[in-house]
Structure formats: structure tokens, C-alpha cells
Structure 1
């Protein structure tokens, strides 16, 4: 049975049994290996530079600075909603640094929805659905919170600000 599940996961593009099995390309080069974050909470966020929620980069950076001893934030730029992330990886990196001082890890631009959804997001969506959260990604700045053992805790919709009590209660 386990072999069947692994085979199906590979066919579907979900080649991981855990979040720690993922390695993704960094926005400015290199690789982000999620295994490096075992023992910390991970907040995974699909981002966009031309969105009504783009200001959340500021809150994400504040959250990262305040809790980086126990939390890592990983931004995943995506152009899935109304062409709100049209830039190249270089342009996105420059925008994030110049406008928001982003220092948390940012992945290379990917797709988070549709036929070309990146494997890490297929995995996150499947984990959310196991928790009864159907179609979790409705827009940019959806936030997936992973605990220190690699388990999905919850998904926050775009409107939940990074420094809101709704999110902070999981960190304090």
C-alpha cells in the first residue's frame, strides 16, 4: 500500500512524504533546502509585487525579524492571479529588497495554482485538504504554517496580516 501511495505521489508530481523532502531554487540563485529548517516553524507564502496585499511584505519582514530564532518565512512569487507578479526573478528580488528590505528566503517564481502547480504547492494543497481546507489558495499572500516537526498547522487566507493575533498566537 505504501508503495502505491509513493508511486501515485510521484505521478502527480508530489515527490515528497514530508515538507523536508523539498528543495527549491532560490530567487537569486542557490537552493533552499527545507530540511535545513527542521525544528523551526515555517511560514510559506505565495507573493506578488502588484497586489493589494503586497504591503504584507513589510509585516512578513517584521515577523521574520522578531521570530527568526524559531520561524523561517519562505516567499514564493507567483503570477497566478490577475498577472500581479509579471517580473523576472531579478526584478522581483530588487523590488522586495528596495521597497521592503526583505531578508527572509525567497524562492524562484513558480505557479501555485492550475495545471503547472509546483510540486511543493501540490504537497501543501494536499496537506490542507487532509485538514478539510478545500482549495486553500484563493489569492496572493495565502500563508501555510508548518510546525517544528514538518506538519501543516493551518492555512491563513490573504486578508490575515502577518503581525495579526490570528497568526501570532501560534508563535507565542
Structure 2
């Protein structure tokens, strides 16, 4: 099997990564970049735990062949988190009790970041639609939806200039 070089920007840093055919973006992030905040869940695109932003859009990294993101910009939960403290989305999830076990949380946060990058004033229906591809087995969704809307308010209030 011939490996190929994939050039991409991960959390603001340019990377050239040698990948084997069939390597997913999830594998690239976790195994070669050490970014384990992107969770390995179902590996079938059904749970959303592997959600990252690719060129600003929320995508499930388990479904993306690494070769298809050549030249793209990828943002993971590690890249969303500021050097000091938490991102407003993370603050809203934490303060709104929108996490329990935490396994789905990075994917939910990145789905929220994608929503807020595209729509800084989402409705409840927008929030529900944005996280609809993400499964939580612990919290139910009310606290998560409330956290998404609270995060939008925090971002608009200037806690951070942009959501992503």
C-alpha cells in the first residue's frame, strides 16, 4: 500500500502527514497528532462524538478519508480551547450542567462551534438541528440545548470575538 502526504492546517498549525490509504481524519488526528479530544465512538457517523470543524463546517471525522481533507483547515476541541481558561461554549456547557460522563461533550461542543460560526443568533430549532447528529446517553438533551443557546449569548456578548 502506497502512503500519501496530506497537507492540512490543524488548530492553526500547518501539518504534512503521511497516511495510508483508508486512514480517516479521526485516525490522523488521534494517532499521528495526539489529539484525543476527538472521540472514537461508533466509527459509522451515527454518534457525532468525532465531530470537528473542517473549513468551518461541523463534520464527523470518522467518515472522512484523510486524503479528502488535503489543503483543509481542521479545528478540534483542543484548538477551540484558549490557552488560559475555557471557550464560552465550554463555559456554557460546564455551568449549564450539560455534561455527565463527558464522552459526547467534545462532539457537542464542536457541533455548537460550527453552528455559531454560521449563525450567531440561533433559535432553539437551530440548536436542536445542529446537535441532531450527536448522541448523548446520559443527560437528555434539554441541558445541552440550553447550553448551546447560552453559548450563543456569551459569544454575542463578546466573551470571544468568534465562535471558532
Length-normalised TM-score, structure 1: 0.29
TM-score by length of 2: 0.30
* More helix per residue: 2
State the structure with bigger RCO (CA 8 A, min sep 6), 1 or 2.
Answer: 1
